[in-house]
Amino acid sequence: MVTVIIICCPHALGLAVPLVVARSTALSARNGLLIRNRTAFENARKITTLVFDKTGTLTVGKFEVVRVEVFGQGLSEQDLVRLAAGLEQNSEHPIAAGILRKARASAVSVPKVEGFKALTGQGVEATIEGQVIRVVSPGYLRKKEIPLPEGFAAAPQETGVFVLRKDKSIGYIGLADQIRPESAEAIRTLHAEGIECMLLTGDNDLVAAQVSKELGMNGYFAQVLPHEKQEKIKELQGKGEFVAMTGDGVNDAPALAHADIGIAVGSGSDIAAETAGIVLVNSNPLDVVRLILFGKMTYRKMVQNLAWATGYNAVAMPLAAGVLYHWGVLLSPAAGAVLMSASTVVVAVNASLLRVKDKQVQPKILLRIV
């Protein structure tokens, strides 16, 4: 009876999960994964589709002006940049930052504006020197049926904005964003894990198609307005997919909240970080891979510990109760105490084996949980 009571002491069972949780949380923080929601982290193993926002997530998020084209008469490229910079000085968008850098590099004086107004998901407008000026996306022109000069075409790698004066297009500013060098490796590894990767962007089809093809993604959603991002997540979930969303901007917050797992890039907005269950401190796409692999290994360690703790009781308790007494096998209280202590030690040691090691992946080095 005394041996049975000793064996029943649930040390191993009670420590099986908490030890793994404590170990994984510490390792996550050490490797740039801020876990704000434990359930989201442990559910990372269920991800079937991972949706990436483009700007600032798969790309550096630093747009540089690569093309300035004037349509109106009596305007120079500097005049066009000056008008665009005047409007964009009140915006925090990466495209606005790129135009302002171009204005500073060109020594253009930025004019004062009046009546600044943001056109949700389409651009900005304000009054400059008595004229209403707009800096808008190509989607705005299509919506308002504003024609472009004959023969004009944006390059596939460009993310461009048009400058309008009195609803007439007077120029185009093309910008380009560099893809992060780690993005392609992250997509390849996710594919190896059986996870589909989708691109979600407000850019036009040409840009989205090029980035998606270059990174080897499964598909893309282009020209998506901020309020439509959440609908795209719902659409994928409606197909039975377990969806994770990775983004960095204020516009991504609703999609991050609605996704099964929201992953925010650390260099992004505070709203995105507050909404997401997991934050990638280092803003590295490879950290998404580490997150998923780490989540799978953490869950596996929990199952191993629970299996050991349960199996120990299932075997040791009948022995302590005398099921093999007729064959001369009976556990003494001292032996029961040793087994009970050993089971706790095994659970603790198994949890401590959760660690991060380097592993060669096609053929670059990628941190992987083993």
DSSP codes joined into one string, 251-264: GGHHHHHHSSEEEE
Instruction: Write down which residue in 176, 192, 225 finishes a domain.
Output: 176
Do residues 211 and 254 share a domain?
yes
- The beta strands (E) that lie in 195-332 are given as 196-200, 219-221, 243-247, 261-265, 278-280
- Residue 370: band (very low, low, confident or very high) from pLDDT cuts 50, 70, 90: very low
Do residues 334 and 201 share a domain?
yes
Do residues 191 and 117 share a domain?
no
Q: Which residue has the higher pLDDT, 285 or 10?
A: 285
Q: Which residue has the higher pLDDT, 330 or 38?
A: 38
**Count of C-beta atoms within a 10 Å radius of residue 254:** 20
Tokens 């030690």 belong to which residue? 345
Do residues 334 and 274 share a domain?
yes
CATH code for position 168:
3.40.1110.10
Q: What is the pLDDT of residue 269?
A: 64
Do residues 143 and 261 share a domain?
no
**Count of C-beta atoms within a 10 Å radius of residue 114:** 10
Domain span at 298: 1-60+179-370
> Is 146 in a helix, a strand, or coil?
coil
Q: What is the pLDDT of residue 365?
A: 32
Do residues 172 and 186 share a domain?
no
Q: What is the pLDDT of residue 266?
A: 73
Q: Which two tokens stand for residue 205?
A: 């089809």
Q: What average pLDDT does this structure show over 257-270? A: 81
Do residues 142 and 249 share a domain?
no
CATH code for position 299:
3.40.50.1000
> What are the pLDDT digits (tens) for 281-312?
887 888 888 888 888 888 888 888 888 878 77
Do residues 50 and 79 share a domain?
no
Instruction: Write down which residue in 132, 148, 176 finishes a domain.
Output: 176
The answer to whether the predicted template modeling score (pTM) of the entire model surpasses 0.85 is no
Q: Is 69 a residue whose pLDDT tops 80?
A: yes
Query: What does pLDDT average to over the chain?
Result: 83
Do residues 212 and 133 share a domain?
no
Q: Which residue has the higher pLDDT, 255 or 150?
A: 255
Instruction: Write down which residue in 176, 201, 220 finishes a domain.
Output: 176
Dihedral (CA of 164, 167, 170, 173) sign: positive
Do residues 185 and 329 share a domain?
yes
Q: Which residues are catalytic?
A: 53
> What are the pLDDT digits (tens) for 107-157?
888 898 898 888 877 888 999 988 899 999 888 888 888 888 777 877 777
Indicate the number of domains in the chain: 2
Residues 134 and 87: their CA atoms lie apart, in Å, by: 8
Do residues 186 and 224 share a domain?
yes
Residue 63 CB partners (closer than 8 Å, separation 6+):
55, 94, 95, 97, 98, 159, 175, 176, 177
Q: What is the pLDDT of residue 239?
A: 92
Do residues 17 and 98 share a domain?
no
> What are the pLDDT digits (tens) for 84-106?
999 988 887 888 889 999 999 98
